[in-house]
Amino acid sequence: MTDFDVVVVGAGVTGLTVANRLHAAGKSVLVLEARDRVGGRLLTEDIEGVRLEVGGQWVSPDQTALLALIDELGLEMYSRYRAGESVYIGADGVRRTFEGEQFPVPATTEAEMERLTKELDRLAAAMDPLAPWEHPDADELDRISFATWLAAQTDDAEARDNIGLYIGPAMLTKPAHSFSALSAVLMAASAGGFSNLVDADFILDRRVVGGLQRVPLALAARLPEGTVHLSEAVTTIEWDADGGTVFTGRGSYSGRRILMAVPPTLVNRVQYIPALPPVQAQMRQHISFGLVVKLHITYDTPFWRTNGLSGTAFSPYALVHEAYDNTNEDIDGETRGTLVGFVSDVKADGILALSPEARKQAVLESLAAYYGPEALNPVGYYESPWMADEWTVGAFGTSFDIGSLTRYGSHLRQEVGPLSFASSDIAGLGFQHVDGAIRMGEAIFRRYA
């Protein structure tokens, strides 16, 4: 058995950030990863001849920790394709094209959306995303669902549906009646304000040449050989005040500190001897993954561009609530066009209950409503399988149920003896994003150094 300064459980961006910083500071570190690859929720794969971003992919200007790391690793970026008009399908079922970020809705709805956006910006500005429970209205906002809050704000259903879309289906990937208004404000505050979430050109700004998984791959490549053990799931951790021993199916490793760099939902999957304090075990039962199916649909050509469309499409009423041009602009000679679309929360439940053929047909029909009948004839179709992957079990990230952010939030990042916990799910700025994973990793390093 070898003694390490730190044993890191999980080779996602959080775990690899910590391992890199510790190694550079001369500390001994071991990373144990359950999967046969690094990157966690970042995975860039060639699927039937098309390179796809199965997990996270976009980088936005507020994600300064990620931007700095991309720079440090010498990676390059390119802009998401956005020339041309976007498409919106409203409550009346009518398809309309538009430019800019304001959906083509009736003037009264537009005014309500602007008012709600300002109100959410105001609430977010008063929040420290690392301590949402300290918000002046925390108790009140955590007791009610985001849907209830929206209903109290406006009678305009289309305004509610659109504002709800940005945080429900598009971010927390849960129905707006299942998370608190405080969680909604946290989502906004963590991205620098609600206005940023509304602006697709901001929040989905750039992509990394070669795919975002190059970040964790490059981090792992900087560690000495043998530092990262793949296919080694941690099952048990024995701990006391001086350190811990981590058990996998292949061996045991001891460290003065143990970092669980895994989503909160997977922290409880490991057996702790002695058991974690009651509040820790209770707290994580109130956190759950959202559910979204990320879809890639490839065509012989990016036909929508020829039709003057950017590929950007939204509708809270459509099966695919948002879609974008996701063609690999960084591949020389790429002539095909790829759309990426998302089916979220209860709509995801619905399509996952269908046969694969019926599911594909439903998705293609939803895309055809945005882009026309050419969307019905793709050359490639792929559904990211995160919800069935035992080392994630959902997408994009996790969030608290109603009332639990104020009840348990302050315990989220608390250490237990030699055990620490970190992942993008418990970040402040960059919450649920790669940026937050890096920020959590850097914070743990500062604590350990």
Q: Which residues bind ligand FDA (CB under 6 A)?
A: 9-15, 32-35, 40-42, 55-58, 233-234, 261-263, 266, 269-270, 294, 384, 386, 391-392, 395-397, 423-424, 432-435, 437
User: Could you tell me the smallest distance in angstroms from the CB atom of residue 72 to ligand FDA?
Assistant: 17
Minimum separation from the CB atom of position 12 to ligand FDA (A): 2
Nearest CA-CA partner of 296 in 49, 41, 52 = 52
CB of 339 to ligand FDA, least distance (A): 15
Shortest Å, Cβ 440 to ligand FDA: 7
Nearer to ligand FDA, 35 or 174 (CB): 35
CB 315 within 8 A of CB 90: yes
Name the minimum Å distance from CB 412 to ligand FDA: 13
Cβ distance to ligand FDA smaller for residue 9 or 276: 9
Alpha helices in 126-258 (DSSP H): 138-143, 146-153, 157-167, 181-190, 194-198, 200-203, 214-221
* Closer by beta carbon to ligand FDA, 184 or else 237: 237
C-alpha span between 399 and 363 (Å, rounded):
27
Report the C-alpha gap between 157 and 271 in whole angstroms. Answer: 47
Q: Which of 87, 78, 79, 88 is nearest to 307 (CA)?
A: 87
* Contact (Cβ atoms closer than 8 angstroms) between residue 324 and residue 312: yes
Q: What gap in Å lies between CA 371 and CA 376, rounded to an integer?
A: 9
Nearer to ligand FDA, 109 or 384 (CB): 384
Measure the CA–CA gap between 334 and 46, rounded to whole angstroms. Answer: 14
CB of 396 to ligand FDA, least distance (A): 4
Q: Which is nearer to ligand FDA, 194 or 272 (CB)?
A: 272
Residue 295 C-beta: closest distance to ligand FDA, Å: 10
Cβ–Cβ < 8 Å for 186, 409: no
Burial tier of 360 (Cβ tally within 10 Å: 0-12, 13-18, 19+):
middle
**Complex with ligand FDA: residue 67 or 233, whichever CB lies closer:** 233
Q: Which is nearer to ligand FDA, 159 or 444 (CB)?
A: 444
Q: Shortest approach of ligand FDA to residue 264 CB, angstroms?
A: 10
Return the number of other C-beta atoms located less than 10 Å from residue 448's C-beta. Answer: 18
The answer to whether the peptide bond before residue 396 is cis (omega within 30 degrees of 0) is yes
Nearer to ligand FDA, 140 or 199 (CB): 199
The distance from CA 90 to its chain's CA centroid, rounded to whole angstroms, is 26
